[in-house]
């Protein structure tokens, strides 16, 4: 997938769900993975020609693992003209050493989001862009069905009244395979997660399950995404 296609699909999602308003200052949460770096590219490019003016900054929450090298991301942000903030925390020590969590992902995510929200508010941002793509939408729906017994997934746009922050998800029309193709084509400096729990989650189980289902019934993920969009879920109606 080329850069123009990335712009096109991102812009359609932004337009369909009215994600950006004039003079928004938007923080992009950068984990260092392929999804967040693709989102950064998309929004930095759209900023140049989108009819509604907006500003960007990028924020990485450093969890405190010793082997995280962000030099490539710093260079990328500089080349895109996006200010970059790295927030250093002790989340890894708290989750893995002090608390010794058997299921560390939930606590880590909660603390990481809290640190990100504080950082973006300090940087003057009222919106934060998350890099969830179409596969994430479907996987979250499946997780909800399997483990909660309800038809649910996150919204394209979510206002968090407790923090006065709006979350937008501009990559919801992109498949993970599109993103993988993009980062390979343009040699995006992806940073592998140093977390020891990476790849060992319920989401990975659902990802594998959906992959098997797609082999048996090609297009099943696409039909599930269509069901999400047309299923009456709050925030998804166009």
Q: What is the strand order of the sheet 165-168 is part of?
A: 83-88, 54-62, 24-29, 127-129, 165-168, 157-160
Task: Tell me, yes or no, whether 235 lies in a domain.
Answer: no
Predicted TM-score (pTM) of the model is 0.93
Q: Which range among 41-45, 111-115, 148-152, 155-159 shows the weakest confidence by mean pLDDT?
A: 111-115
In sequence order, the 6+-apart residues with CB closer than 8 A to the CB of 199 are none
Task: Tell me, yes or no, whether 106 lies in a domain.
Answer: yes
- pLDDT confidence of 109, banded at 50, 70, 90? confident
Residue 237 class from Cβ within 10 Å (0-12 exposed, 13-18 middle, 19+ buried)? exposed
* DSSP structure string for 47-101: HHH-SS-EEEEEEEEE---TT---HHHHHHHHHHT-EEEEEE--HHIIIIIIS--
Model pLDDT, residue 104 = 75
- The 10s digit of each residue's pLDDT in 43-77 is 999 999 999 999 999 999 988 887 778 999 999 99
When pLDDT is averaged across residues 126-138 and rounded to a whole number, the result is 96
Asked if 129 contacts 39 with a C-beta cutoff of 8 angstroms, the reply is yes
User: What's the mean per-residue pLDDT of the chain?
Assistant: 91
Q: What is the CATH number of the domain that holds 69?
A: 3.40.50.620
Task: Tell me, yes or no, whether 238 lies in a domain.
Answer: no
Determine the Cα–Cα distance for residues 43 and 21; give it in Å rounded to an integer: 14
- pLDDT confidence of 199, banded at 50, 70, 90? low
Angstrom CA distances, 41 to 19, 61, 190, 200, 210, stand at: 17, 19, 13, 28, 28
When pLDDT is averaged across residues 136-142 and rounded to a whole number, the result is 96
- pLDDT confidence of 200, banded at 50, 70, 90? low
Of the CA atoms within 13 Å of residue 129, those in its CB half-sphere come to 31
Model pLDDT, residue 197 = 66
Strand pairing partners for 26? 56, 127
- pLDDT confidence of 223, banded at 50, 70, 90? very high
State both tokens at 155: 């919204």
Tokens 């942000």 sit on residue: 77
Asked if 59 contacts 70 with a C-beta cutoff of 8 angstroms, the reply is no
Model pLDDT, residue 35 = 96
Model pLDDT, residue 172 = 98
Domain range for 119 is 3-230
Tokens 């003079």 sit on residue: 23
Task: Tell me, yes or no, whether 236 lies in a domain.
Answer: no
- The 10s digit of each residue's pLDDT in 157-168 is 999 998 999 999
pLDDT value at 98 more than 90: no
When pLDDT is averaged across residues 88-116 and rounded to a whole number, the result is 82
Task: Tell me, yes or no, whether 95 lies in a domain.
Answer: yes
DSSP state of 200: -
pLDDT value at 198 more than 80: no
Domain count, the chain: 1
Determine the Cα–Cα distance for residues 68 and 63; give it in Å rounded to an integer: 9
């Amino acid at each position: 997938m080329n850069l123009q296609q990335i712009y096109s699909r991102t812009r359609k999602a932004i337009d369909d769900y009215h994600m950006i308003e004039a003079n928004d200052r938007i923080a992009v949460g950068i984990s260092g993975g392929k999804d967040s770096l693709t989102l950064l590219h998309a929004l930095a490019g759209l900023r140049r020609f989108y009819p509604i003016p907006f500003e960007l900054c990028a924020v990485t929450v450093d969890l405190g693992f010793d082997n995280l090298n962000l030099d490539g991301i710093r260079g990328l942000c500089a080349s895109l003209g996006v200010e970059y903030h790295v927030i250093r925390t002790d989340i890894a020590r708290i989750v893995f050493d002090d608390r010794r969590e058997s299921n560390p992902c939930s606590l880590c995510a909660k603390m990481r989001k809290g640190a990100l929200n504080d950082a973006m508010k300090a940087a003057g941002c009222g919106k934060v862009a998350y890099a969830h793509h179409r596969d994430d939408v479907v996987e979250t729906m499946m997780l909800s069905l399997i483990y909660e017994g309800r038809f649910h997934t996150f919204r394209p746009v979510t206002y968090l009244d407790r923090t006065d922050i709006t979350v937008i998800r501009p990559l919801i029309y992109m498949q993970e395979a599109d993103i993988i193709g993009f980062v390979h084509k343009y040699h995006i400096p992806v940073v592998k997660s140093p977390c020891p729990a990476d790849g060992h989650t319920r989401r990975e189980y659902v990802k594998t399950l959906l992959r098997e289902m797609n082999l048996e019934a090609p297009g099943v993920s696409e039909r599930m995404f269509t069901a999400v969009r047309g299923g009456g879920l709050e925030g998804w109606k166009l």
